Chain A
């Protein structure tokens, strides 16, 4: 069996409706377990106090904001190279989910930054590239709505996605490129100096798992919606012609 079989909308809908219940339940379980563990049972940090609990929302949402765009990049490349409509619709479906993840990362970062850094916002390389990534999400969604021809919209948004990928990667690696920023290093890192302490690690990984599955479930659900909307417009046009 080939992955390309799921470029067929009917096959994709069948697969997504089989996967969705399991993904949704597992995502809910992991999110509930990770957040309850993190909020109620993980200790305070000796420097950050109880604000360390924000890590269980900030890190997973930031990860999904960046990886959501990377998923859109892969789907856009599949559209540009192989012209599979489902991949273009999957990229379109992922954009609002990624945008909300970016908003959560920006808001929780600002709320945490106020007492820790003494400011809600600084023009730090990572924060700035993250804000630009959010603007790219908004621009991507606006472009889909602005162009009537769906194939042309898919072409233009795919190109925009390629350009925006620079900022998705920058927001991930900015702390490594520039060391003058205020933002600390990666919470999950092979470098023991940077890596989050073990006591916070397990609930964080569980919550990240929950966010990944939630992202996948929402993208499958929303791609199904986009496929059906495309079918509705075909039926309406066919009705007009007869």
Chain B
């Protein structure tokens, strides 16, 4: 761990919040993609029947 000195809270909060937003964005995009892909498959299967 680097020595962040008196700015430790500043640096760590910037990294923590940014990574939270990035991970949240990736997870949201992926889960939505997976859900919509499955829904389209269901719709296409029901049209074929």
Do A and B associate with each other? yes
The residue that A50 contacts in the complex, of B5, B40, B43, B44, with Cβ under 8 A, is B5
Are the CB atoms of B47 and A114 closer together than 8 Å? no
Are the CB atoms of A115 and B25 closer together than 8 Å? no
A67 at the interface (CB under 8 A from B): no
Are the CB atoms of A114 and B29 closer together than 8 Å? no
Q: Is the interface of B mostly helix, strand, loop or mixed?
A: helix
Using known A-B contacts A225-B36, A228-B37, determine if residue A51 contacts B44 with beta carbons closer than 8 Å.
no
The residue that A40 contacts in the complex, of B2, B32, B39, with Cβ under 8 A, is B2
A159 at the interface (CB under 8 A from B): no
Residues on A with beta carbons closer than 8 Å to the beta carbon of B15: 35, 39, 53-54, 57
Give the interface size bracket for A toward B: 35 or more
Give the interface size bracket for B toward A: 20 to 34
Binary interface profile of A, 145-176, with partner B (CB < 8 Å = 1, else 0)?
00000000000000000000000000000000
Are the CB atoms of A54 and B21 closer together than 8 Å? no
Residues on B with beta carbons closer than 8 Å to the beta carbon of A232: 36, 39-40, 43
Query: Taking the nearest CB of chain A, how far is it from the CB of B20, in angstroms?
Result: 10
Residues on A with beta carbons closer than 8 Å to the beta carbon of B36: 225, 228-229, 232
Are the CB atoms of B6 and A100 closer together than 8 Å? no
Binary interface profile of B, 1-45, with partner A (CB < 8 Å = 1, else 0)?
111111110110111011001101110011011001101100110
Q: A104-B21, A111-B17, A221-B29 are in contact. List 18 more A-B contacts (CB 8 A).
A: A44-B5, A54-B11, A54-B14, A97-B25, A100-B22, A104-B22, A108-B14, A111-B14, A112-B14, A115-B7, A218-B25, A218-B26, A228-B36, A229-B36, A232-B36, A235-B43, A238-B47, A239-B47
* Chain A residues packing against B (C-beta within 8 Å): 35, 39-40, 44, 49-51, 53-54, 57-58, 61, 96-97, 100, 103-104, 107-108, 111-112, 114-115, 214, 218, 221-222, 224-225, 228-229, 231-232, 235-236, 238-239
